[in-house]
Amino acid sequence: MKHAFTQILTYAKKLIPFFLSALLLVLLLKQLALYPWMTSIFQSMMPVFGGVLIALFLQPFIDKLEKYVSAKIAVFIVYTFIIVSLILFVICLIPLLYHQMVDFMEVLPNWVEKVEQFLEKYHIVYGNMEDFKNKYVQEGYVVVIDSLKTTMNTFTDYGIAFFTAFFLSLDLDYWKRSAKKLFTDYQRYSNFYHTMSNIVYQYLVGTILDLFFIMISVGITLYFFDFPNAFLYAIILAFLNLFPYVGATLGLILIAIVAALSYPVFPWLAFAIVWSIQQLESNIIQPLIFNHTMNVRPILSFVFIFIGEALFGVIGVILSPIFASIAQIAIRSYLHAKTSDRVGEWDDIWQDFDEAMKQEEKEGRMERKSL
């Protein structure tokens, strides 16, 4: 434990000059009235940064296809598949989601009225309820349309990021050759990259399967019980399940609130089935798919909420658990690459890291006993 604390202090001392330099640079730019100009340049570069991330996420799929076809053909297949999937999503799912959101705005006034009655019954003050009704209920359709307009505007940035990723993937061999010349320890970085690529591929495929299981099973259950906007809430519940520790609970609370506002008698059977699906997913389906619980550190999840929002807006917040998981995979893949000369598989990076943690805990217990 003492050794780990010393390492943390060492890294902190190395980072302090960097943060101080960044702070001085920001102050200097503001003093010279260059800060807004630099900010606008940074914002214009965000689609490029997004393109780098997209290329990294898609590269594991390209690597798998390269076993059967050439690298360029693999790139074209993966990116064409993404484009076709997005087109099908826009054609099929966006209109459905739009109608579900419109239906939600129609039932919202009834829900507000029920909340008012509940608050009046228990003599709870709700002075701002009228403002809420005027702003969000009566102007609900405007809110939905404005949200869709904002989403359509961001598609331009996503389009730039996508094509940036496409050209980066096409030129990956060039970047590999350049890295080989620039870095003397290239083999270790290559080992790290291929290990991470293997694990990220398995994680992304598993996550997609996990999401579809929740969406389909919960969607069918809610639809069977005539739950309002069943498809919309099934999607929300699936993505909330990505958030560790609190996501599944928040999703269940959301379902409970909507059920209480929508039914004259609370649908306990539907609620119990949804809860059972969550338990089945977390205790059986997820371990079966991944063969190991991700156990993403809370601090990573928290940090990547802000990073995801900065890079991709609301979509980045929704996908932040995936970003955090990939960051944890990257850390463990790097630790594996430092201690092994071979490309790691899924079990390797968890086993290596867990053994290191157990050794750290053992040393900590011995130190505490000696004291």
DSSP labels, 200-229:
HHHHHHHHHHHHHHHHHHHHHHHHHTT-TT
How far does CA 24 lie from the centroid of its chain? 32
- Say if residues 342 and 191 touch (Cβ distance below 8 Å): yes
> Positive or negative CA dihedral for 85, 87, 90, 96?
negative
- The residue written with tokens 């990547």 in the block is 304
| Euclidean distance between the first and the last CA atom of the chain, given in angstroms as a whole number | 13
- Say if residues 242 and 316 touch (Cβ distance below 8 Å): no
Question: CA 344, CA 110: separation in Å to the nearest integer?
Answer: 56
- Say if residues 246 and 254 touch (Cβ distance below 8 Å): no
**pLDDT attached to residue 217:** 92
**pLDDT attached to residue 3:** 55
From first to last of its 371 residues, the chain has per-residue pLDDT tens of 455 556 556 655 666 776 677 677 767 766 666 667 666 776 777 778 778 888 888 888 888 888 888 888 989 999 999 889 888 877 877 777 777 777 776 777 777 777 777 777 666 665 555 565 555 555 555 555 555 566 566 677 778 888 888 888 888 777 777 777 777 777 777 788 888 888 888 888 888 888 899 999 999 999 898 888 888 888 889 888 888 778 888 888 988 888 888 888 888 998 999 999 988 888 778 777 766 555 677 777 778 887 777 766 667 777 888 888 888 888 888 877 777 777 777 777 766 555 555 655 666 666 666 65
**pLDDT attached to residue 151:** 59
CA 251-220-233 angle, to 5 degrees, is 30
Question: CA 63, CA 75: separation in Å to the nearest integer?
Answer: 9
CA 95-98-103 angle, to 5 degrees, is 125
**pLDDT attached to residue 276:** 92
- Say if residues 271 and 227 touch (Cβ distance below 8 Å): no
**pLDDT attached to residue 289:** 72
Tell me the pTM: 0.68
Judged by phi (left if over 0) then psi (alpha if -120 to 50, else beta), residue 347 lies in alpha
Gyration radius from the chain CA atoms: 25
- Say if residues 107 and 228 touch (Cβ distance below 8 Å): yes
3-state helix, strand, coil in the chain (%, to 5): 85, 0, 15
